[in-house]
Amino acid sequence: MSTLNTDATASASLRIAVLQSSGLEGDVAGNLRALAEAARRAHAQGADLLVTPEMFVTGYNIGERLDEVVTDDLPDRIRTAVRESGLAMAVGTGIRRPDGIANSVLLVDADGSLIARYDKTHLFGPLDRSLFVAGDSLSPVIDFHGVRLAMLICYDVEFPENVRALTLAGAQLVVVPTAQMEPYEFIAEHLIRVRAWENQIAIAYANRVGSEGRLHYVGRSSIVNADGSVLAHAGATDHDLLVATVDARAIEGAQSRNPYLSDRRPNLPVPPAPPIHPLPEEDDSHDRTR
């Protein structure tokens, strides 16, 4: 049964689960089994949507193996796994495109139908650029369980203009699969709360733990409310499943109390630098102290 909201009278809240996990490098079948187990646990806690870390299905820093495991039928395998679980998911995975492999998140409804796909637009450093091709548009904003959600991936959320653009497009919740590594703990600890606060939206941040190659992931996944309060958070090393409820009316209330969006003045001009006017030299001809 589809959980995509088409009824204006539907409940304006979304119970969201965030999976923090190391995943299994290059083991698609094993990761799909782990996804099913996480869905079972999330469903038992009343979740409507499960969010995975970045590239969870395939592995992230797995080098040339990525080309082997990102098969043409991978999206269908993920959709089948979601349908069998009976729980909608935002799943981080590689997706094959004509020009290469995209670092993607698939938003799949509980019946296995594909609601939306987002390809990471901001590639981080030589690693990302050696493995992936970049997306060329931001996420659509989806009305899901009465909450308008959008998607970003890892490095994307570190650009304030991305989150602001989605907020101005109507997003109330941004889900962010990520593979945040050392030494960037401060992003998980501080920046995510700032992004939520400055835009008055909720953010669900799903990170990896453990290591892949030379990358050591920092965990610290979280679900942050629009007022910057942390609804749920995980530690640095533990496999965990966070569950919290995001309420659209509470987000609207936060935006009313903290009207950054309505008070902003984005069209203020930046003038050119003014010319420098040096002070005239002092006339010391009448200085009696000389």
C-alpha span between 245 and 147 (Å, rounded): 11
Angle at 115 between CA 154 and CA 8, to 5 degrees: 110
Are 241 and 17 in contact by the 8 Å Cβ rule? The answer is yes
* Residue carrying structure tokens 């453990």: 210
Residues with catalytic roles: 54, 120, 154
Selection from 290, 252, 235, 213 nearest residue 13 by Cα: 252
The count of C-alpha atoms lying within 13 angstroms of the C-alpha of 194, restricted to the half-sphere facing its C-beta, is 10
Q: Do residues 101 and 57 lie in contact, with contact meaning Cβ atoms separated by under 8 Å? A: no
**Amino acid sitting at position 9:** T
Residue 100: which region, alpha, beta or left (left: phi > 0; alpha: psi -120 to 50)? left
CB 252 within 8 A of CB 264: no
Q: Where are the beta strands (DSSP E) in the chain?
A: 13-20, 49-51, 88-97, 100-108, 114-119, 142-144, 147-151, 173-177, 202-206, 211-212, 215-216, 222-224, 230-233, 240-247
C-alpha–C-alpha distance, residues 164 and 166, integer Å: 5
